[in-house]
Chain A
Amino acid sequence: MNYSRFLTRVSKNRQPSLIRELTNLLSDASPELVFMAGGLPNPQMFPFQAASVTLKDGRALTIHPDLMTDCLQYGPTPGYPPLVKQLKSLVEQLHSPPQWAESDLIVTAGSQDGLCKAIEMMVNPGDYFVTQEPCYTGTLSILNPFKPRYLPVKCDREGLNPTALREILSQWNPEEIRDVEDNVPKVLYINPNACNPTGVSVSEGRRREIYEIASAYNLIILEDDPYYFVQFEKPEDFPPSFLSMDTEGRVLRFDSFSKVLSSGIRIGFVTGPKPLVQRILLHKQVSILHASSLSQVMINELLRIWGIDGFLKHTQSVQEFYRKQRDSMMEAAERHLTGLCEWAVPTGGMFLWLKVPGVVDTWDMILERALKKDVILVPGKAFMCDPSSPCQYMRAAFSVVTPEKMDKGLMNLAELIREEITLQQT
């Protein structure tokens, strides 16, 4: 595949940092080599010597002095090598990427930083951008400064609709545009599992169709999948990822530990074709340099103690927790919102996407009147590519609220909606 077609002028201009490249060599260097290249501070002068992190299951991660040095010293930009190794095993086991030999995996400071760098790598100001709609607000925040020409693809109860995708791309002839660089769509963004904000997942059949369409039009697929591990089905029933069907090397996949291990630790990872991952790496080299070494060691040691099986077992307990939360939320919704709202039952993650047919636009209802009713949600407009159109939707999160609060909250919400409908009529 010709990847240079997908790179912005800015990305193409990026040069590798020689100092970072030289520092990367350190891990394989001969012990005789006297390394005076990188400005590494001296570990003798680090004030922290050792640490112990206790887990909730009673076990402890011991960070002895050598390991502490790993935590405190500059590390390689692609990631702490033992962690990268474990993550590669994990990805191979879960996705068996068809293009694995031509792929690379790097650790990022949260998967969103990887996504941000990927978008900044590929989107020039004013470019077309194909995305599911509604779309995660974080992604829109990354994109909006580019003032892209959004090609929003409607989602329904089964996620991004391939027919809608075909339709929006139909203004172009795939054969004619697939090698063109300017003024054509080149990137597709999708949040395939327990989508934020809709809470639904895209079926396997649809995924294969979407991949075919992307192939025909030569699009890069940005597979943003932070809720992969909190899908509510059994793992053996998870629909295959785009990465696992990527025979052509057009998928950049963004994975996250934020929902299952820690959000504040800021660790995610990107998997994809080497030429594209390389460009993301160059941007990382000169910005954050690398994800926090301590964070990487903490995740690495945890995975080492648990093993992949232990990790997957943990994710299942997290799924179980969110499934119960969803069930409580559904009960409350049925109790209070029947007749006022419509919704699809979330199949994973932590969001319920409510449509309010009786209200023209939820924005003012929420931002101006919801507080007095002691309930706050996110108005659906925040997830739309065009914030000027009215939106009847809103997003409720069920991750941290108790069942009692859910009940109270949705009761208040019902009152708010009734009052809004009355207000609208006057």
Chain B
Amino acid sequence: MDYSKFISKMALNRKPSGISEMRTYLRNASPSLVWLASGVPNAQKFPYKEATFTLEDGKVITIKPDVMATCLQYGPTTGYPPLLNQLREMTFKIHSPPCWPTSDVIVTLGCQDGMAKAIEMILNPGDSILVEEPCYSDTLCILSAVTPNFLRVDADEYGMCPDALKRVLQETEKNNPDKMPKLMYLVPNASNPAGKTMNEERKRRIYALASEYDFIILEDDPYYHLQFGDPEKLAPSFLSLDTDGRVLRMDSFSKIVSAGLRVGYVTGPVQLLNRIVWHMQASVLCPPGITQVMISELLKEWGDEGFRNHITNLRNFYKSQRDVMLQAADTHLKGLCEWTVPDGGIFVWFKVLGVKDTENMIKQRAVKKDVMLVPGNNFMLDTTKPCQYMRAAYSNVTPEQIMVAFKNLAELIREEIALQDSLTTA
């Protein structure tokens, strides 16, 4: 595939860091080579010596002095090699990417940094991007900076509609051929905020359109392991369908191991990953060593079985949390709200029937009712339009808290409707 048409002007100007290129000279170096080139500080003077991490099951992971010295030093931009190898293995096992020989994996500081860099790599200001609505709000924030031409595609309870996508593409081709999209962004599993999961048939149809109209697919999939369906029957990822080499897939440990460690990874064609790496070379330099070592050692300690058990526990936990929230919704919000049942992830997307716009209700009045959600307009392409939706996360609240919160939420909504009515009649 010719990737040059997908690269933004800025990214085309980006080159690899000169000093890192010099490392290629190390490949055939003799042991007597005196390396005076890279300005790495001397790790002898770093005060940390070693560490032990106790796991929830009581086992202990030890980071011995030599490994500690490695993780305290600058590391490769693409990631701590043992972790990278584990991630490559996992990715191959789960997705068997058709373009594997020309693809690779890189570690990023959270998959969102990978995504931000991918967007900055591809979009020039004014370039078109295909998105569904509602769309993950932080992605809209990344995009807002580059002022793209949004091509909104209708979605239903299974996510983006292939027929709608085809319509948008055909219309753009006819009326605005200079604005054909280079990029599509979507969260195909347990989408944020709507909680929708796309089935295989849709993915295949959307991929076929991506191939026909030649655009890149940014597959943002942080909830992949948090799908509540039968793990043997999960829909294949876009990466696993990627025969052309047009998918950049974002994976995350944030929901499954730790959010604060900032470890995510991007899989895709090497030619695209390279440019992300060059941008990382100029910014973060490399992901933190110690957090990568922690994850690597954890995965090693668990092995495949331990990882599967952990994911099973996670799924069961978040599923029961979902059920508690749905029950609380049934109890307190029936008649006031509508909602669909998410089949994964951590969010429920509520439509507030009697309220024209949830923004002020939440930003100005929800705290007094001891409840906080996200107003739906944040997930819309035009945040100024009134929006009846709101997003609630069930990940980090107890069942008791959810019950109390929804009782308060119901009051908040009733008061808002009354307020709305009084303003209309006034």
Contact = CB atoms under 8 A, between A and B. Distances in A.
Interface of A: 9-11, 13-20, 22, 25, 29-30, 32-57, 70-75, 109-110, 112-113, 116-117, 125, 137-138, 141-142, 144-147, 196, 258-266, 282-283, 285-295, 298, 302, 314, 317-318, 321-322, 325, 350-351, 367, 371, 374-378, 382, 395-401, 405-406, 408-409, 412
Contacts of A318: 45
B231 to A, nearest CB: 17
B55 A262 contact: no
A286 to B, nearest CB: 4
A85 B300 CA distance: 37
Interface of B: 9-11, 13-15, 17-19, 22, 25, 28-30, 32-56, 70-75, 109-110, 112-113, 116-117, 125, 137-142, 144-147, 192, 254-262, 278, 281-291, 294, 298, 310, 313-314, 317-318, 321, 346-347, 367, 370-375, 378, 383, 391-397, 401-402, 404-405, 408
A263 B40 contact: yes
B160 to A, nearest CB: 21
Given A141-B15, A289-B110, A70 B260 contact: yes
Contact of B44 (A35, A282, A285, A321): A321
Contacts of B317: 42, 44-45
By Cβ-Cβ distance, the 6 closest A-B pairs, closest first, are A293-B260, A409-B34, A264-B289, A34-B405, A116-B283, A72-B258
A33 B383 CA distance: 26
A116 B17 CA distance: 14
B22 A351 contact: no
Contacts of B255: 39, 41
B109 A409 contact: no
A382 B256 CA distance: 42
A202 B401 CA distance: 59
B104 to A, nearest CB: 21
A262 B33 contact: no
A295 B290 contact: yes
A16 to B, nearest CB: 7
A138 to B, nearest CB: 7
Nearest to B23: A376
B370 A374 contact: no
Contacts of A73: 258-260
Contact of B47 (A56, A141, A405): A56
A424 to B, nearest CB: 22
A146 B10 contact: yes
B301 to A, nearest CB: 9
Contact of A47 (B35, B254, B310): B310
Contacts, number: 347
A41 B283 contact: no
Q: Name B's interface SS.
A: mixed
Contacts of B378: 18-19
Contacts of A55: 47-49
B256 to A, nearest CB: 8
Q: Name A's interface SS.
A: mixed
A321 B260 contact: no
B138 A294 contact: no
Contacts of B144: 13-15
B54 A264 contact: no
28 contacts: A14-B141, A32-B370, A34-B371, A34-B405, A36-B394, A37-B393, A39-B192, A39-B255, A39-B346, A41-B256, A41-B258, A43-B396, A50-B53, A53-B50, A110-B284, A137-B18, A147-B13, A196-B39, A262-B48, A264-B73, A286-B141, A295-B288, A371-B29, A374-B32, A376-B36, A382-B18, A399-B39, A406-B34
Given A49-B56, A287-B116, A259 B288 contact: no
Nearest to B371: A34
B13 A288 contact: no
A266 B44 CA distance: 17
B209 to A, nearest CB: 28
Contact of A288 (B29, B109, B256, B401): B109
A16 B141 contact: yes
Given A33-B371, A286-B116, 12 more contacts: A34-B408, A36-B392, A40-B259, A42-B317, A48-B54, A70-B260, A125-B10, A137-B19, A264-B73, A288-B112, A314-B47, A350-B41
Given A32-B370, A34-B371, A53-B48, A41 B32 contact: no
A50 B283 contact: no
Nearest to A32: B370
Contacts of A13: 144-147
Contact of A11 (B33, B34, B145): B145
A55 B22 CA distance: 34
A405 B34 CA distance: 6
Contacts of A314: 47
A377 B408 CA distance: 67
Most buried by A among B30, B46, B192: B46
Contacts of B260: 70-75, 290, 292-294
B46 A262 contact: yes
Given A13-B145, A35-B372, A145 B13 contact: yes
Contacts of A18: 137, 374-375, 378
Contacts of B110: 288-289
B41 A48 contact: no
A36 to B, nearest CB: 4
Contacts of B125: 9-10
B34 A263 contact: no
A113 B283 contact: yes
Contact of A141 (B71, B281, B367): B281
Contacts of A20: 138
Nearest to A44: B317
B374 A54 contact: no
A56 B383 CA distance: 53
Contacts of A32: 370
A36 B42 contact: no
A83 B192 CA distance: 31
Most buried by A among B45, B70, B72, B116: B45
B49 A54 contact: yes
Given A15-B144, A73-B259, A42 B14 contact: no
Contacts of B285: 110, 112-113, 138, 266
Contacts of A36: 371-373, 392-394, 397, 402, 405
B197 to A, nearest CB: 16
Given A266-B287, A405-B34, A50 B47 contact: no
